[in-house]
Amino acid sequence: MRKNEKGKLRFRPITEQDIDFLYQVYASTRLAEMTRAGWSEQQKEEFLRLQFNLQHTQYLQNYQEATFAIILCDKVPAGRFYVDRREKEIRIIDLALLPKFRGQGLGSAILKDIITEADGKHLPLNLHVERLNPARRLYERMGFILKEDKGMHFFMEKEPASPG
């Protein structure tokens, strides 16, 4: 648990009852894109539901040992944080907050904690981020560097801090 100026951060495992909330978090990350699409609300909803279901299934199948958590800020669901702790690396699969929780230091606090964990284990910390995702600037400020341009996504990594 970390406390920042907005309150206490906690995590709890996702459950089947969280699917609608997880969808809302996912959809909130696609709002700008959907605004530009020129689709009806029904088309947007159908597209986002399909994309969310595909992503959710893919994450669960490809990261079977990962931690899938709901981020709680003062016991209120604020977002999702998915992490795969591997033998030779720690991978942030997804970190997303609902819009009303963004820009308040919560993402930074979560990243600082996972960076501390990776440094303590002397493991690199990596993630994929969409090219136009504003969070990319946060990752760069936190010490992540571009390792590979994968077209629509960047693969970024933060090497562990040197011991001592």
Question: Is 93 contained in some domain?
Answer: yes
Q: What is the mean pLDDT of residues 39-50?
A: 94
pLDDT in tens, 18-32: 999 999 999 999 988
Range of the structural domain that residue 152 is part of = 2-158
More confident residue, 135 or 66: 66
Would 163 be classed as within a structural domain?
Answer: no
Q: What pLDDT band is residue 3 in, cutting at 50, 70 and 90?
A: very low
Q: What's the CATH code of the domain at 124?
A: 3.40.630.30
Residue 2: the pLDDT is 46
> At residue 6, does pLDDT exceed 90?
no
pLDDT band at 35 (very low <50, low <70, confident <90, very high): confident
Q: State which H helix or E strand residue 40 sits in.
A: none
**136 part of a folded domain:** yes
Assess contact for 116 and 132: CB atoms under 8 A: no
Mean pLDDT along residues 137-151: 95
Number of domains in the chain: 1
pLDDT at 37: 83
Both structure tokens of 163: 């011991």
pLDDT greater than 80 at residue 4: no
* Residue 164 located in a structural domain: no
Mean pLDDT of the chain: 93
- Tell me what pLDDT residue 33 has: 83
The C-alpha atoms of residue 34 and residue 154 are separated, in whole angstroms, by 21
Model confidence at 161: pLDDT above 90: no
Please give the pLDDT value at position 164. 59
Using a pLDDT cut of 70, give the percent of the chain over it. 95
Residue 92 lies in a domain: yes
Q: For residue 91, give Cα distances in angstroms to 30, 38, 101.
A: 22, 35, 23
- pLDDT at residue 7, rounded to an integer: 65
Query: How confident is the model at residue 99, as a pLDDT?
Result: 95
Question: Which distant-in-sequence residues (6+ apart) come within 8 Å of 151 by Cβ?
Answer: 131
The one-letter code for the residue type at 109 is A
Catalogue the E-assigned strands of 14-111.
67-73, 76-85, 90-97
User: Mean pLDDT across the stretch 88-112?
Assistant: 96
